[in-house]
Amino acid sequence: MQIMKFHVSDSEEVLSLFYDTVHIVNANDYSKEQLDVWAPISEKDNKMDIWGTSLTQNITYVAKKDGRIVGFGDLTSSGYLDRLYVHKDYQRQGIASALIHKLEREAKRLHLPEVHTHASITAKLFFLSKGYTIVCEQTVHRQGIALINYKMRKQFV
């Protein structure tokens, strides 16, 4: 596996990975209705430019295996871990760990005091295992549908 910087040409593959992962991996913790508002398939094409821009502006890495993107993650300059997703067929292979390690190294290089994120129910245990603490549980409403997630952070000493 290789971890490399995101390029705009990765946008389509990254976006497909996101939609597939949300709708399959997160299905154990969220209803179909919740998944449909979290990652509406009808908006996929519209998000291509938006995500391409934000992923380019953020510190973004992709994990590749045999030339295929199997994970990605991005961090803002203020320390917000915006996205961290691993391909549905490559779960539990250390990909998310490698990506978060790389992003945390960047945060430390920038002298950020912490990294914070909004973790799904599915991702909560992963973040806890990496030293993140729960700040609070929150309910986010999208199109009138409630989704639970966790505001989490990892402070650097």
| pLDDT for 45 | 77
Residues 122-126: what's their mean pLDDT? Answer: 96
Neighbours of 15 (CB within 10 A): 20
pLDDT in tens, 18-51: 999 999 999 999 999 999 999 987 777 788 888 8
What is residue 36's predicted lDDT score, i.e. its pLDDT? 93
pLDDT at 133: 98
Mean pLDDT of 71-85: 96
Q: Output the average pLDDT for the chain.
A: 94
Q: Is the pLDDT of residue 136 over 80?
A: yes
Confidence (pTM): 0.94
- Tell me the CA distances in angstroms from 49 to 11, 44, 78, one per residue in order: 8, 10, 22
Whether the predicted pLDDT of 157 surpasses 80: no
Domains of the chain plus CATH, in order, are 2-112 (3.40.630.30)
Q: What is the CA radius of gyration of the chain?
A: 15
Q: pLDDT at position 52, please?
A: 85
Please, which pLDDT band fits residue 84 given cuts at 50, 70 and 90? very high
